[in-house]
Amino acid sequence: MIELQVEGMTCGSCTEHVRQALEQVAGVRSASVSYPQGLAAIATDGQVSLEPLIAAVTTLGYGARVANNPNDSAVLFEQALDRPVRKTTQANGEQALHIAVIGSGGAAMAAALKAVEGGARVTLIERGVIGGTCVNIGCVPSKIMIRAAHVAHLRRESPFDAGLPATTPIVLRDRLLAQQQARVDELRSAKYEGILESSQAITVLRGQASFQDDQHLVVALSKGDERVLAFDRCLVATGASPAVPPIPGLKDTPYWISTEALVSDAIPNRLAVIGSSVVALELAQAFARLGSQVTILARHTLFYREDPAIGEALTAALRMEGIEVLEHTQASQVSYDNGEFILSTHHGEVRAEQLLVATGRTPNSRGMNLEAAGVKLNQRGGIQIDQGMRTSAANIYAAGDCTDQPQFVYVAAAAGTRAAINMNGGEASLDLAAMPAVVFTDPQVATVGYNEVQAQQAGLETDSRILSLEHVPRALVNFDSRGFIKLVAEAGSGRLLGVQAVSAEAGELIQTAAIAIRARMTVQELADQLFPYLTMVEGLKLCAQTFFKDVQQLSCCAG
């Protein structure tokens, strides 16, 4: 008879899960598990070693040790798995809270690390590649591709061609792709896989998780078997996937979503893009600069949910580069014949060698049996959460793109951190009132706070100013005055409510605006600040000054 001390059982049903797991181990005749005593008595045929027994229990999320020799059994188990010993108790001897985290992207990693910092032990479950969307198929590879395309564009054309004659670059896509993917692999290894491997308190399970109830997960492991995992708290951080519109004929064609576009080993001669927002426009411009003839089909206007001036400015910039922007245009039918896509629209046919569909992202909330745990979804399939990332189920939290939060990795990470604080008994919330957002087109688009319509919908009277970049010295010396900076203030008080910018390096200036809004600064206070001369961020000061004076009558760096 072998006796194991089982730690972490929270109810009578836990004993049944442990018993079933132990009796599946080869050589075990029977197992008896006591929840009050935290003890498992195992009858064997005499040929069973400790390692598979402890592994069967620990994989469920419980702690396990030989009843009369805790240290040796823990070491045996962890050595058998070739990883460091995990702690199952806190320094004060109390049982560590067990938190299950589904996913391994920005929200999941931030939560796992913060939870461990708070004394919990974590089981992180990932069905695919560690790291989630951002590092693998989103932010990182797309920004590398966009930067390479920017360099290609400057070699082909720049404001200084008279003195620095342009030359048509040769695009070696296979080499650019190898460089891109090498950096992706490097960052995933350093910032995700390496950190998980070095953490004593995090166990990684590879497989698909679904809820059995509000305190147990069923994990279909990648190696083929299945485990029931008990938890005290659980965070769902499964991200989102590209949404594909139900256009007749589309599903029968070899169209791209962003994932395929980013790893394509060739640049198509003609590319059609369905979409009018971030991913569609970033990749459309990148492919155009790498050599594609690009046509964008926008159902409304570009960035139609933002201040209209943003879409107008970006449409003009893209058209100047030879990109065809078809506004108020939808594909009613898509077909593929003889290596060519044919898109039917009310403006006629659009033909292309390749088609990219980038019409938003859908929360990854299906297939997890969330209803069994009492977790409610919104109409878009996003998990409903409060400001503390709590779902409708008391022990289950959610963060990131699988919820109704804005789909940015820095929002997901911030939400994951706060969820971990709350799962450990704290009280943290996420305030998105001054959340900056950046689109990495050229010129960039950056926003924070309210635009005029949003402010007025919130019951605020506004006073706004818009500054052409022709009045920003940095833009003048760059010979690139495309775009604008707009400040939205509260009428009367002058309190800064929001900023919208379309400019080179808009992403670098918007954080200053976010801090100003967070500090409840007025436009007068912003205008009085010192800004370094010949920077794009100085445009914020100049725009603030337009509330009180004519900036055309100022000297270059007038204070």
- The pLDDT assigned to 23 comes to 86
Instruction: Decide if 402 is catalytic.
Output: no
Which distant-in-sequence residues (6+ apart) come within 8 Å of 50 by Cβ?
Answer: 2, 66, 73, 76, 77
Task: Identify the band that residue 11 occupies on the pLDDT scale cut at 50, 70 and 90.
Answer: low
Task: Identify the band that residue 269 occupies on the pLDDT scale cut at 50, 70 and 90.
Answer: very high
Domain boundaries, given as residue ranges, for the chain: 1-85, 94-242+361-432, 250-359, 437-553
For the chain, percent helix, then strand, then coil, each to nearest 5?
35, 25, 40
Written as one string, the DSSP assignment of 465-510 is EEEEGGG-HHHHHTT---SEEEEEEETTT-BEEEEEEEETTHHHHH
pLDDT of residue 69 exceeding 60, the answer is: no
- The pLDDT assigned to 10 comes to 62
pLDDT of residue 528 exceeding 80, the answer is: yes
pLDDT of residue 311 exceeding 50, the answer is: yes
- Look up the CATH number of domain 94-242+361-432: 3.50.50.60
- The pLDDT assigned to 187 comes to 97
Q: Which of 61-70, 74-83, 113-122, 488-497 has the lowest mean pLDDT?
A: 74-83
Instruction: Decide if 134 is catalytic.
Output: yes
Q: How far apart are the C-alpha atoms of 556 and 119, rounded to whole Å?
A: 56
Q: Give me the sign of the Cα torsion angle 552, 553, 558, 559.
A: negative
Please give the biggest Cα pair distance in the chain.
94
Rounded to a whole number, what is the distance in angstroms from the first to the last CA of the chain? 84
Higher-confidence residue of 224 and 110: namely 110
Exposure string of 539-548, with b = 16+ CB inside 10 Å and e = fewer, is: bbbbbbbbbe
Active-site option among 109, 134, 145, 234: 134
Assigned CATH topology for domain 250-359: FAD/NAD(P)-binding domain (3.50.50)
Which distant-in-sequence residues (6+ apart) come within 8 Å of 195 by Cβ?
Answer: 109, 113
Q: How far apart are the C-alpha atoms of 335 and 277, rounded to whole Å?
A: 24
pLDDT of residue 79 exceeding 60, the answer is: no
Calculate the average pLDDT of the chain.
92
Task: Identify the band that residue 85 occupies on the pLDDT scale cut at 50, 70 and 90.
Answer: very low
Instruction: Decide if 543 is catalytic.
Output: no
Per-residue pLDDT tens for 20-31?
888 888 888 888
| Mean predicted confidence (pLDDT) in 447-475 | 97
Q: What angle do CA 63, 65, 67 make, to 5 degrees?
A: 130
Torsion of CA 131, 200, 229, 365, to 10 degrees: -20
Which distant-in-sequence residues (6+ apart) come within 8 Å of 386 by Cβ?
Answer: none
Active-site option among 14, 435, 536, 543: 14
Within its chain, how far is the Cα of 546 from the centroid?
Answer: 37
Cβ(283)–Cβ(358) under 8 Å?
Answer: yes
Number of other residues whose CB lies within 10 A of the CB of residue 266: 12
- The pLDDT assigned to 18 comes to 86
pLDDT of residue 471 exceeding 70, the answer is: yes
- Both tokens of 39, joined, read 């003890």
Active-site option among 35, 139, 304, 410: 139
Higher-confidence residue of 168 and 30: namely 168
Same fold? 1-85, 94-242+361-432: no
- The pLDDT assigned to 339 comes to 95
Task: Identify the band that residue 459 occupies on the pLDDT scale cut at 50, 70 and 90.
Answer: very high
For residue 227, give the nearest of 32, 40, 59, 52 by alpha carbon. 59
pLDDT of residue 551 exceeding 60, the answer is: yes
In this structure, CATH architecture of domain 1-85 = 2-Layer Sandwich (3.30)
Instruction: Decide if 62 is catalytic.
Output: yes
Torsion of CA 158, 159, 161, 162, to 10 degrees: 180
Task: Identify the band that residue 155 occupies on the pLDDT scale cut at 50, 70 and 90.
Answer: very high
Note if the bond before 169 is cis, omega within 30 degrees: no
Per-residue pLDDT tens for 318-361?
999 999 999 999 999 999 999 999 999 998 999 999 999 999 99
Which distant-in-sequence residues (6+ apart) come within 8 Å of 286 by Cβ?
Answer: 142, 145, 146, 148, 149
Q: Hey, which residues does 236 pair with through a beta bridge?
A: 102, 398
- Output the pTM of the full model: 0.84
Instruction: Decide if 11 is catalytic.
Output: yes
Task: Identify the band that residue 68 occupies on the pLDDT scale cut at 50, 70 and 90.
Answer: low
Q: Three-state SS for 388?
A: coil
The fraction of the chain above a pLDDT of 90, given in percent, is: 80
- The pLDDT assigned to 278 comes to 97
| Mean predicted confidence (pLDDT) in 489-505 | 97
**Which range scores top for mean pLDDT: 47-51, 308-312, 346-350?**
308-312
Task: Identify the band that residue 47 occupies on the pLDDT scale cut at 50, 70 and 90.
Answer: confident
CATH number for domain 437-553, candidates 3.40.50.970, 3.30.360.10, 3.90.580.10, 3.30.390.30: 3.30.390.30
- The pLDDT assigned to 93 comes to 53
**Exposed, middle or buried: residue 122 (CB in 10 Å: 0-12, 13-18, 19+)?**
buried
Q: Three-state SS for 249?
A: coil
- The pLDDT assigned to 558 comes to 62
For residue 158, give the nearest of 483, 506, 479 by alpha carbon. 479
Cβ(375)–Cβ(249) under 8 Å?
Answer: no
- Both tokens of 28, joined, read 């075990």
pLDDT of residue 77 exceeding 70, the answer is: no
